[in-house]
Structure 1
Amino acid sequence: MSFGDSPFGQAPRPLAEINMIPLIDVMLVLLIVFMITAPLLTHRVGLELPQADSTPRPPVTDAIRLTIQADGALFWNAAPLTEAELAERMTAAATGVTVPELHLQADRRVPYGQVAAVIALAARSGLTHIGFVTEPRPLP
């Protein structure tokens, strides 16, 4: 803050001026600090990310397609069956030489509890390879 000369012998009044020199000094110090530390923060982590392949997988020949409709109806490879028959067929399929994949296709209106019960039954029967069949979303 500076004091100016006042005419006629009055008391000097303060002049409001912003002193820029301390602000410039602080900014230069911060600039130098950031210029020194910026190259040190560019550490890279070497990752080998998997490459995406958009080609569809060929269908598995010994896969079982289990469909659950919205009303709870079950279909084993497009053939209708009951819940009791489902347990028998899953056990029979799991005891074969090669354990087939179970492709589960459920309607979106099927309660999750019913889908979870089918997955648990498949796991107890020995069908451990379970896949979910979905429809791709249309591109915007």
Structure 2
Amino acid sequence: MASVSARSGSRRRRGLSEINMVPFIDVMLVLLIIFMVSAPLITTGVVDLPSVGRAAQRAPKVVEVVIGSDEKLQLKVDGGDASGLTLGELPARVRSAQGGDAQVPVVISADRNVKYDQVVKVMDSLQRQGVQRVGLSVKQGG
């Protein structure tokens, strides 16, 4: 009797160790077909990157914020003399230099050695106070 129960136990183990792979392969083939059909239908997003170019004409009035290599701020109006100021008083001075016209562009010029964090702080400070047209000055070439 002991031999009969041993045989039935071994049959049961052999039956459990077998895995039927056919349904798994069927599912994988269906997924492959779905992905092959849907792949051409997916449109890739187009990212419009800004390009550096020359303006058609210079604005009649430009307010320029200059960030020196020592991270001190200066304000120039129409390329005139620069006056020093702090980050806290920058938005008020820029708005007064704009003369109430929000369409007067503000250009930020920074030294090459200035950390980008300082430039972002200046942009953020201006935009929080409602200065709309803020841009970065770029030097073309070497």
Query: Could you state the TM-score of these two structures normalised by the residue count of structure 2?
Result: 0.51
Higher helix share: 2
Cα displacement (A) at 1:56: 5.1
Corresponding residue of 2:120: 116
Corresponding residue of 2:92: 88
CA contact (8 A) 1:66 1:105 kept: yes
Q: Deviations over 1:57-100 (max 9, x none)?
A: 32212221110011011111022222232132134456714431
Corresponding residue of 1:129: 133
- The structure that has the greater radius of gyration is 1
Corresponding residue of 1:18: none
Secondary structure class of the residue paired with 2:66: strand
**Structure 1 unaligned spans of 5+:** 1-53
Sequence identity (%)? 26
Corresponding residue of 2:110: 106
Distance (whole Å) between structure 2 residues aligned to residue 76 and residue 55 of structure 1:
23
Alignment of 1:59 onto 2:63: no
Higher RCO by CA contacts (8 Å cutoff, separation 6 or greater): 2
CA contact (8 A) 1:102 1:130 kept: yes
Q: 1:83 to 1:61 in 2, by over 3 A?
A: same
CA contact (8 A) 2:67 2:110 kept: yes
Cα displacement (A) at 1:122: 0.9
Distance (whole Å) between structure 2 residues aligned to residue 127 and residue 133 of structure 1:
17
Cα displacement (A) at 1:121: 0.7
CA contact (8 A) 1:93 1:100 kept: no
Cα-Cα RMSD: 2.5
Give the AA of the match of 2:105: E
